[in-house]
Amino acid sequence: MGLTPEMLPMIVSSNLAKGAIAMARRKVVVKRLNAIQNFGAMDVLCTDKTGTLTQDRIILEHHLDVNGSKDNHVLHLAWLNSFHQSGMKNLMDQAVIRFGQGQPGVEALGRYSKVDELPFDFIRRRLSIVVQDEQQRQLLICKGAVEEMLEIATHVRVGQEVLVLDGGSPCRFAGFGVPV
């Protein structure tokens, strides 16, 4: 049987607050007090402050269809979306644009012009771009959280074929390390 003083939670909280004040004097922002305790209990901390290991950028290596096969159409859609979005381009957008430069077929995407944009928001959890080609054919391209995209998707393109997306399809993504 152990005894815990009634004031222990208050003592711990006040010590953590005192630690946060001391860290604030050293220009450290503490958002959660228990982070101080977690940080103190850490044995190993690995960082890449200089970007030497990560190069401070994302590198696109594969552009795959739903079956895990290389698909240039996927790259073209991703490139159009990343290139035409008007908001601040994140590291993923920069990687797609950088990878697309010099890839076969990407230079032909210049025939598309932007018609409209629905910027990313945290309710929809996706960003949508509408582009059109010189024949005025419009194309809506969305990117966003996998869960949200699978929830609204009704069809999937596999090669040149468009198939109905059934309820069991998201399970196929699990093998690629994609959260579903």
Would you please indicate which residues are annotated as catalytic (active-site) residues? 48
Which stretches of 3-123 are DSSP H helices? 8-25, 33-40, 72-84, 91-100
Decide: residue 101, CB within 10 A, 0-12 exposed, 13-18 middle, 19+ buried.
exposed
Query: Token pair for residue 104?
Result: 């076969």
Taking alpha carbons only, the member of 147, 143, 142, 144 closest to residue 179 is: 147
Contact 73, 157 (CB under 8 A): yes
Task: Beginning with the edge strand found earlier in the chain, give each strand of the sheet holding 138-144 in spatial order.
Answer: 113-121, 126-132, 138-144
